[in-house]
Amino acid sequence: MTLSKNRIGGLMFLLLSLAYGYSATEITLFPGEEFEPVTSRTFPYVLALLGAICSIALIVFDRDSESAGEGMTGDMHWRLAAGLLLLMIGYGLALEWLGFLIATILFLICGFWMLGEHRPKILLAVAIPFTVGFWALLTQALDIYLAPGLILNFLGD
């Protein structure tokens, strides 16, 4: 069994899923919720389990790289991966200041730009409707409050 790009990705995703599942144990339950069949921990546990199952399946059943003779090569895109990780950290930091809508639109545009899409019409045509649609689903359908951002609060005062 060779250590291919797919298997390295599967191992990284497995570690992420296990860490996410462990962090789900830190979610505090409301009083009396511990006796309910579905709690605030249920969905994170299910996501962690599904992520672990998918990553183990990728690690075990990755036969394409063995047949192609791929091993651990030097052509992995480490700079792109590091750039996307930094972009995610920046998104997390900007979310409080810019709010969900602006921060998510900028995050998607920058992420697509880093991945190679440089046409402004495509960047805007994908990022804006997706973000507004997801915002509408969260705020209108699921009644989840998303803060507008500290900058908009400062401008509104």
- State which of 42, 74, 106 marks the end of a domain: 74
Are the C-beta atoms of residues 30 and 40 closer than 8 Å to each other? Answer: yes
Expressed as residue numbers, the domain containing 98 is 77-157
The reply to whether 13 and 57 lie within a common domain is yes
CA–CA gap between residue 64 and residue 4 (Å, rounded): 10
CA angle, 56 as apex, 22 and 88 as ends, to 5°?
55
Same domain, 145 and 93: yes
Residue-averaged pLDDT of the chain:
87
Q: Do residue 2 and residue 36 come from a single domain?
A: yes
Given a cut of 70, whether residue 105 has pLDDT beyond it is yes
- pLDDT tens sequence across 15-34: 999 999 999 999 998 888 88
Q: What is the distance between the terminal CA atoms of the chain, rounded to a whole angstrom?
A: 62
The one-letter code for the residue type at 68 is A
Residues 113 and 153 grouped into a single domain: yes
Token code pair at residue 113 = 């730009």
Say if residue 83's pLDDT is above 90. yes
Sign of the Cα pseudo-torsion (17, 109, 117, 131, in order): positive
The one-letter code for the residue type at 25 is T
103 neighbors 94 (Cβ within 8 angstroms): yes
- Percent of the chain predicted with pLDDT > 70: 90
pTM, 2 dp: 0.63
- Residue 20 and residue 44 in contact, taking contact as beta carbons nearer than 8 Å: yes
Burial class (CB in 10 A: 0-12, 13-18, 19+), 58: middle
Q: Span 94-115, mean pLDDT?
A: 94
Same domain flag for 82 and 157? yes
Q: Tell whether 1 and 60 lie within a shared domain.
A: yes
- Indicate the pLDDT class of residue 40, thresholds 50, 70 and 90: confident
Q: Say yes or no to pLDDT of 50 above 80.
A: yes
pLDDT tens for each residue of 71-82 = 555 566 889 989
Mean pLDDT along residues 136-142: 88
Q: Are residues 95 and 70 in the same domain?
A: no
Clarify whether residues 32 and 17 are in a common domain.
yes
CB distance 138 to 146 below 8 Å: yes
Q: What's the structural domain count of the chain?
A: 2
